[in-house]
Structure 1
């Protein structure tokens, strides 16, 4: 028994030594006292705050006459607000489409990505804070080489596409060829994964003339909204891959790559404190969505016009932690598939008392013995699960291709309908 205790003690000491070496390297050779605070009191590094909001910006590429990339006066190619709840150990991300129309604090109206080229991260930050009444604590500007080098440092990441992605830009040196489905990709492929917006509609002949491609095989991955969703997916994938056992052993080397590729006002101890506090589950289960709105042309230019009411509710919910705003945001359709009278209206009334906005009640096209809840975006999974549990429904599914103009669809089958009638609800 004494031998067992000594072996365990030795194992603990070796483990502590390994943790100290690795963590102190990531934290910039911090003192033992600092490391203890990072692990035990991570909120001390954020003035006791329970929520930290970080603006993440990806620089766009410019190219000179020779086709060489440069980022001087570059616009923001990616704009994402990352909110880290240190108390609940949860994370959420809201993407802002780069063509979103805003009026910035400098009085200029136009696309939000232009604020970055005019006034850098500070003007972009001020624009978002004023637009949504939001406090942004820190920023991280990702260099144009970051995605490739960070993903390669991790040894690759897992992603999933909903359709094939094919695009070639010889001038920009961008070649994207990814199949449909779940796949393990390297750094160069990850760049294509997050930059893809459309398929080629023409090709160049040997004289450099554009020749239209016919027929064009379009992809479901086209468009800025799908692009922002892939960016969010990559953030989750990087967080999950960074905490695999093999990468934890290489944490110091990976951290060095990250700090070379990211310009941030977060210190190493702060970043480590966030990682310690949130852990694999907090970042890996990232709730993410894109500000709702609609794109269109004005004066010959394309703009994305926000749905102001829903966008504000989304920010209040995911970035400020207002749960009531989250319930108001969710658009719910309720269908009666039980063939029992009044159960859809009764269910809508119950959900309304909980703060949900039921926009439609109707009779389902087909009868069903079993009730179910369907949600369309990952950001609404928590709310869909809450509705499922509140109503006592067994089935919960995600269907991003649902034609319904609702975020959550509740179908009342015979099972729930009979229970409701029996209980008088």
Structure 2
């Protein structure tokens, strides 16, 4: 596995030997009674990774800062945190950390609360390799079907003690993650709902980018956020929360205070509110930021933005870390958190490899998300065990033919599938620009090695990064990880090969 270390004390078998059967279809866990939970709420309250990012990025590794951050520690411990941080994880070359974003729940009087009844609104498996300093993150949709504690249900409910009396909590959620991925996390970090907002505020803001305008309304929480399309400086806690939480359009017409416009009651006494016109709703449904998958991408982008901002905050590292540590519960010891910070002090935002569990939603209630076992296996092999060949299997490649030479794009896609194991397809009618040079464009830095591999397989091409916003996860676009535009330098040879078949 490219020299990667063991996880949970075991060396992973080759991908083709890691078979997992789908969970048996048992009745879904029953709903909670007596309390109402607001759906579609905080996915983005993100994530212990955000807190860790703040710790990593804050420069806490500077020797002069440790006495402030670890009061009572010995001089030797402080020096070890800087010079030998792996010491704080004996006999481990790699660890996995489950990052959990808690949601708010509402009681029958619509009063917001958190606690053992809260569900998980964000779930991310973080892998940290101490030898290579690789960092990777696998996002898991909250509606993913799992079988734990003798029941089949959605993974987000495993955090709730209401749904799993006496069992719900981080430990059960870790079991559920193991059911899906085969990996039982070594540690967990459970983050409070407003953690990201508080951290962004402490950082003095972060810079992100949207691919469409966002309007997020949570009247009960008093949160109303509008963000434009394009580069955005997130300056407030509300903007950070709205950026990370947004999932679907708001169909209602709003008053100035953000409340929905009341129009009366139906025959049963149920309040009715004014909805936007069908044309407005249809237009809003085309928003590229809609959906859970796109929301998870924004969470990953927020983490990178927090790292970038935090690297400029060395003089405020002590207050930054104090804020971060107040935002989460974890089974990591405080020195271990700072050891991780020291190990990854030089990590750049675009070096964090990330992916989202692949699969599909059921078309009937309770609308479970069913993971694609083959792709899940490949994602785990890549993101947790560092198998770059497995990464090819989950890397989507679109091949376009910019020439009039028939069959070149099809042959290129076939070659990439057969010899590189890429998830490659071709566009029959690509842009006929009569390009002379083939270009191989990747969307994120983590895809650069695979773009370079494609250039070798095809026998040429200029590799470059797409400088536009990260569009992965958007609903109305099937955005490939890598786009190949064949020019006249390679198309003739590929076209000849196609004609000979």
TM-score w.r.t. the length of structure 1 is 0.84
Indicate which of 390, 411, 416 corresponds to 2:485.
Answer: 411
Match of 2:368, SS state, is: strand
Residue 230 (structure 2) aligns with: 181
Match of 2:146, SS state, is: strand
CA distance in 2, matches of 1:278, 1:303: 36
* Paired residues for 1:332-411 under 5 Å: 332-337=397-402, 347=412, 351=416, 355-357=420-422, 359-360=424-425, 365=430, 366=432, 367-375=434-442, 380-388=447-455, 391-398=459-466, 400=471, 407-411=481-485
Match of 2:288, SS state, is: coil
Residue 264 (structure 1) aligns with: 330
Q: Is the 8 A contact 1:60 1:74 kept in 2?
A: yes
CA distance in 1, matches of 2:305, 2:249: 24
Q: Does 1:223 align with 2:286?
A: no
Residue 136 (structure 2) aligns with: 92
CA distance in 1, matches of 2:288, 2:410: 36
Indicate which of 288, 301, 308 corresponds to 1:233.
Answer: 301
Indicate which of 88, 92, 102 corresponds to 1:45.
Answer: 88
The higher relative CO (CA closer than 8 Å, separation ≥ 6) is in 2
CA distance in 2, matches of 1:64, 1:379: 43
Shift in CA distance, 210/355, structure 1 to aligned 2, threshold 3 Å: same
Indicate which of 275, 278, 288 corresponds to 1:212.
Answer: 275
CA distance in 1, matches of 2:130, 2:336: 12
* Paired residues for 1:3-152 under 5 Å: 19-72=62-115, 73-104=117-148, 106-117=149-160, 118=164, 119-152=168-201
Q: Is the 8 A contact 1:102 1:110 kept in 2?
A: yes
CA distance in 2, matches of 1:274, 1:248: 17
Deviation at 1:112, TM superposition (A): 0.8
CA distance in 1, matches of 2:156, 2:413: 41
Q: Is the 8 A contact 2:350 2:445 kept in 1?
A: no
Q: Is the 8 A contact 1:91 1:283 kept in 2?
A: no
Residue 252 (structure 1) aligns with: 318
Q: Decide which structure has greater helix share.
A: 1
CA distance in 1, matches of 2:449, 2:104: 36
Deviation at 1:348, TM superposition (A): 5.4
CA distance in 1, matches of 2:198, 2:397: 42
Deviation at 1:304, TM superposition (A): 1.7
CA distance in 1, matches of 2:456, 2:200: 38
- Give the RMSD, CA atoms, in angstroms: 2.9
Q: Deviations over 1:160-189 (max 9, x none)?
A: 111111132322322121111212212121
Q: Is the 8 A contact 1:150 1:254 kept in 2?
A: yes
Residue 328 (structure 1) aligns with: 393
User: What are structure 2's unaligned runs of at least 5 residues?
Assistant: 1-60, 254-259, 265-270, 496-501
Shift in CA distance, 376/364, structure 1 to aligned 2, threshold 3 Å: farther
Q: Is the 8 A contact 1:331 1:356 kept in 2?
A: no
CA distance in 2, matches of 1:342, 1:162: 33
Q: Is the 8 A contact 2:145 2:152 kept in 1?
A: yes
CA distance in 1, matches of 2:360, 2:151: 21
CA distance in 1, matches of 2:332, 2:348: 19
Shift in CA distance, 155/280, structure 1 to aligned 2, threshold 3 Å: farther
